Amino acid sequence: MPVILCHGPKGGTGTTFVAAHLAMGLSAEGADVTVLTFAARDTMPLHFGLSQAISLPSLTAPADEAVLVGGINLRHWTRSADDADLLPMLNDLGYLSPGKDRVMVLDVPSGDWRAARRIAQAACAHVCPLTVQPDSLALLPQMFDEAGTDGLSRTAFVINALDETRRLSRHGAAFVRELAGQRLVGRIRSDEAVPEAMAMLQPLSRYAPASAALSDVRAISGKLVDALHSTDPVWIAPSAASRAA
Amino acid sequence: MRIDARNLLDRLGRSDFSYKEFEDRFTDLELWPILEALLRDPRLQALDQPALQVAKSATRGNGEAPAPDERVPEAPKEQIQVLFSRYEHGSEPAAKASAPAPHPADSSGDVRALLRRLSAAVETEGAATGTAPREGDA
Ligand SMILES: Nc1ncnc2c1ncn2[C@@H]1O[C@H](COP(=O)(O)OP(=O)(O)OP(=O)(O)O)[C@@H](O)[C@H]1O
Ligand SMILES: [Mg+2]
């Protein structure tokens, strides 16, 4: 069952935002989605309209402690991202093997890049959000080096928080488009509605249904969902399969 | 979204809005040495990117600005699909995805040709959406 890693070379570039919306997109298509966050200081609940007072249960916590938002199961990995038990545990839970009824979206902070590399080797895709700011671009060579050709072949790049009124941003975006080519799955415009929704303790889709960032991130998750669909239809939960039929 | 922005969008009959393109010239792109430095970094060439091919064909005397539809499009579906090919065959979790062959590394790629092409891409976008006055920080 698919494990999708969200991890970028630089912090603060929207990895958690993208992971949250990818989970929502997959869930809207009928998949049974679990989000697993790794940040010691986690802000994932805010993207679901929850308050900062909520702390997410661990992966192994019983079902009655689960935090479910719109059917999405939000969990936190309480140990180090490097913990050797992680991949065996995911395997025991049925991930990392064929079957597409359940999907897990992992939000791994940029600093945990060693763990992210190990997870990427087992994951079916790596979604890599970045901004086109120079400090984000400057980390790309190192990230490419760590990922290697095989890792990069399963990496989908996303430009986040793009402000095309800025000359440097336009140039940076043109650079990433040329560099990543087919591996760039889209761009998300910078949009004040993203922090505003958090301030309102509302999901972005409720607070600002017309948000530019929302429509952009939906387009991206739509493409990734399409890609999942196309390889094998059996991952789809029955409700979505009957809708598609 | 602020209520005044909301009202403006309603008046324009739009659901979202972003500022559109300003003109950029090749010389503008040359202003950023970091882009040039990155292009020269051999580690960036691990990606199966079209950039170096393009740079090479440009040096073969084919240096005209590309037509808009020749620019790198959004990722076609088939190419994204390879991302998820991992679980298609067998149950071996570490099975290798069918990775496309890497381009042979060529650290002598023509950086100027690539920058020119980037510039052309940005300019074409600007032309397609009508040109606004240059921003003040230019
Ligand atoms: N498209 C966007 N437009 C405007 N603000 C955004 C956008 N995407 C993310 N943000 C804001 O940027 C900040 C960082 O986002 P996020 O927490 O998702 O990044 P991150 O890469 O997960 O950061 P960290 O390294 O702390 O884990 C947040 O305050 C978020 O509201
Ligand atoms: Mg984060």
User: How far, in Å, CA of B58 to CA of B13, rounded?
Assistant: 43
Phi and psi, residue A155, nearest 5°: -100, 130
Question: B2 by DSSP, 3-state: which?
Answer: coil
ipTM, two decimals, is 0.82
Residue by residue, DSSP assigns chain A as: --EEEE--SSTTSSHHHHHHHHHHHHHHTT-EEEEEE--SS--HHHHTT--TT--PPBTTS-GGG-EEETTEEEEE--S-TT-TTHHHHHHHTTTTSS--SEEEEEE--TT-HHHHHHHHHHSSEEEEEE--SHHHHTTHHHHHHHHHHHHHHTEEEEEEEE-TTSHHHHHHHHHHHHHHGGGEEEEEE--THHHHHHHTTS-HHHH-TT-HHHHHHHHHHHHHHHHHHHH-GGGS-HHHHHHH-
CA-nearest residue for atom 23, ligand 1, is A12
Give chain B's residues under pLDDT 50.
Answer: 50-74, 88-109, 129-138
Q: Of chain A residues 106-135, which have a CB less than 8 A from chain B? A: 121-125, 134
- Domain of B110, in residue numbers: 25-129
User: Own/partner pairs for A93-99, CB < 8 Å, 24+ apart?
Assistant: A93/A59, A94/A1, A95/A1, A95/A2, A95/A3, A96/A1, A96/A3, A96/A122, A96/B93, A97/A1, A97/B87, A97/B91, A97/B93, A98/A1, A98/A232, A98/B87, A98/B88, A98/B90, A98/B91, A99/A1, A99/A234, A99/A235, A99/B87
Q: Is A38 in the pocket of ligand 1 (CB under 6 A)?
A: no
Nearest CB partner across the interface for A184, out of B48, B75, B135: B75
In a domain, B97, yes or no: yes
**What is the pTM for the complete model shown?**
0.78
Domain assignment present for residue B20? The answer is no
The pLDDT value given to residue A149 = 85
Express each pLDDT in B17-37 by its tens digit. Answer: 665 555 666 566 667 889 888
Cross-chain Cβ contact B44/A100 below 8 Å: no
Whether B71 maps to a domain, the answer reads yes
A-chain residues near B77 (CB < 8 A): 223, 226-227, 230
Which pLDDT score, from 0 to 100, does residue B31 have? Answer: 74
Residue B98 belongs to a domain? yes
Distance B122 CA to ligand 1 centre (A): 26
> Quick one: A88 exposed, middle or buried, by C-beta within 10 A (0-12, 13-18, 19+)?
exposed
A12 touches ligand 1 (CB under 6 Å): yes
Total structural domains within chain B: 1
**Domain A3-244: CATH class, spelled out:** alpha beta
- pLDDT computed for residue A218 by the predictor: 97
Residue B137 placed within a domain: no
B9 lies in some domain: no
For A:191-210, CB contacts with B below 8 A are 192-193, 196, 207-208, 210
Query: With an 8 Å Cβ cutoff, is B18 touching chain A?
Result: yes
Divide the 245 residues of chain A into consecutive groups of 10 and give the mean pLDDT of each group. 94 98 94 96 97 94 96 96 94 83 94 95 92 97 91 91 92 89 92 97 97 97 82 35 36
Break chain A into its structural domains and give their ranges.
3-244
Tell whether B32 is covered by a domain: yes
